[in-house]
Amino acid sequence: MSLEGKHALITGGSRGIGRGIALKLAESGVNVAINYVQNKTAASDTLAQVRERGADGFIVQADVSRPENIKEMLNRVESEFNALDIFISNARPELPAFYSSPFDLTLEQWDMAMDSQAKAFLVGSREAVRLMPDGGRIIAVTYSPGGRIGSWQPWVAMGAAKAAMESLVRYFAVSLAKRGITVNAISPGLTKDSVVNSLPQEAQDLVASWHRNAWTPASRMGNPADIGDAVALICVEGSGRITGQVIHADGGASLMDPVLPPEMQAG
């Protein structure tokens, strides 16, 4: 079930969860194309760490909210790798581009959320599949609670966009099943070195304390390496029967009942 010599593209692969995925795949022998939109230094640093782990790859600039950029990115992947075994749709815009409550949200913010998530996954997957042999892997990084709750009000645009992306996961999974290409989503929950870092420090401290002391059975927030582990698991050959699923890599947080006080739930 080795991944040695496979080729992957990770959008938003320069930092945070994307970097965690890139480094885990590199440890498994996967060569990685690392997409970034602005921070070339971070992308180059991630590539250096990939090479330290014995794999190789390249960095590629593209704004995934623009379909023409996605097509150019996949053309670059084709010229560098010739084929693509793993496509990870992970990139997201910075918080101000989409983060507003329902009545303050601008249509530009709504469009950015949808374009960077659902549309980017649609276009990216279709472009990736033309380079992908049978048995390939397509993975979307989501935040599943945002698509079914309404309490985190400024997350409304991203929550709707992630829900649309998860729906696409299921449709693509059916379309590609006969080729042995699996399509799944990973839902990390709130994770260190992620969108959480964009929140005010007080909010970051509250989130960390809540997960450590109350809401997560594992008693800690996740980190990018945890998500890399989960991605690697569903990339190996033996995971071929897992498709069309949203896999929660959240330390059990999604198992908690929002109605009952945490004190009544923890073992």
* pLDDT, tens only, 82-110: 999 999 999 999 989 999 999 999 999 99
d(CA 252, CA 168): 25
What is the pLDDT at residue 66? 98
Region 147-173: what's the mean pLDDT?
Answer: 94
In a domain, 101, yes or no: yes
Q: Phi, psi (5° rounding) for residue 88?
A: -115, 115
The backbone region for 180, taken as left when phi is positive above 0, alpha when psi lies in -120 to 50, beta otherwise, is left
Region 195-222: what's the mean pLDDT?
Answer: 75
Q: What is the CATH number of the domain that holds 141?
A: 3.40.50.720
Tokens matching residue 206: 């509250």
Are 73 and 49 in contact by the 8 Å Cβ rule? The answer is no
Burial 176-190 (b: 16+ CB within 10 A, else e): beeeebbbbbbbbbb
* pLDDT, tens only, 111-151: 999 999 999 999 999 999 999 999 999 999 998 887 888 88
Q: Which amino acid is at 146?
A: G
In a domain, 260, yes or no: no
Tokens matching residue 54: 């014995």
In a domain, 75, yes or no: yes
What is the pLDDT at residue 1? 55
In a domain, 81, yes or no: yes
What is the pLDDT at residue 9? 98
What is the pLDDT at residue 261? 75
Tokens matching residue 129: 């599949």
Entry pTM: 0.93
How far is C-alpha 239 from the chain's CA centre? 18
Query: Is 106 exposed, middle or buried (CB count within 10 Å of its CB: 0-12, 13-18, 19+)?
Result: exposed
What is the pLDDT at residue 217? 79
Return the percentage of the chain with pLDDT > 90, whole number.
75
Region 16-45: what's the mean pLDDT?
Answer: 97
Listed in sequence order, the DSSP H helices in 11-155 are 16-27, 40-52, 67-81, 107-114, 120-129
What is the pLDDT at residue 206? 78
In a domain, 234, yes or no: yes
Structural domain including 171 reads 7-199+223-254
In a domain, 25, yes or no: yes
What is the pLDDT at residue 195? 67
Q: What residue has token string 């029967």?
A: 241
Question: How many folded domains does the chain comprise?
Answer: 1
